[in-house]
A and B are shown apart, each in its own frame.
Chain A
Amino acid sequence: AQSVTQLGSHVSVSEGALVLLRCNYSSSVPPYLFWYVQYPNQGLQLLLKYTTGATLVKGINGFEAEFKKSETSFHLTKPSAHMSDAAEYFCAVTSSGGSYIPTFGRGTSLIVHP
Chain B
Amino acid sequence: DVKVTQSSRYLVKRTGEKVFLECVQDMDHENMFWYRQDPGLGLRLIYFSYDVKMKEKGDIPEGYSVSREKKERFSLILESASTNQTSMYLCASSFDTAQPGNYGYTFGSGTRLTVV
Contact = CB atoms under 8 A, between A and B. Distances in A.
Given A9-B40, A90-B43, A107-B42, A100 B99 contact: yes
B90 A44 contact: yes
Contacts of A100: 31, 94, 99-101
A63 interface: no
Contact of A102 (B40, B101, B106, B109): B101
B105 A44 contact: yes
A49 B40 contact: no
A25 B4 CA distance: 28
A72 interface: no
A24 interface: no
B42 A106 contact: yes
Nearest to B112: A41
B107 A43 contact: yes
Best-surrounded residue of A42, A43, A45, A95 (most CB of chain B within 10 A): A43
Tell me if A's interface is mostly helix, strand, loop or mixed: loop
Contact of A49 (B6, B33, B104, B112): B104
A94 B90 contact: no
B42 A34 contact: no
Given A46-B104, A101-B45, 11 more contacts: A9-B40, A41-B109, A41-B110, A43-B92, A44-B107, A96-B99, A96-B102, A100-B31, A100-B100, A101-B58, A106-B42
Interface of B: 4, 6, 9, 31, 33, 40-43, 45, 48, 58, 90, 92, 94, 99-102, 104-110, 112
23 contacts: A32-B101, A32-B102, A36-B105, A36-B107, A41-B109, A41-B110, A42-B109, A44-B90, A44-B105, A44-B107, A46-B104, A46-B105, A49-B102, A90-B42, A90-B43, A94-B101, A96-B101, A101-B45, A102-B101, A104-B42, A104-B43, A106-B40, A107-B42
Interface of A: 9, 32, 34, 36, 41-46, 49, 51, 90, 94-97, 99-102, 104-107
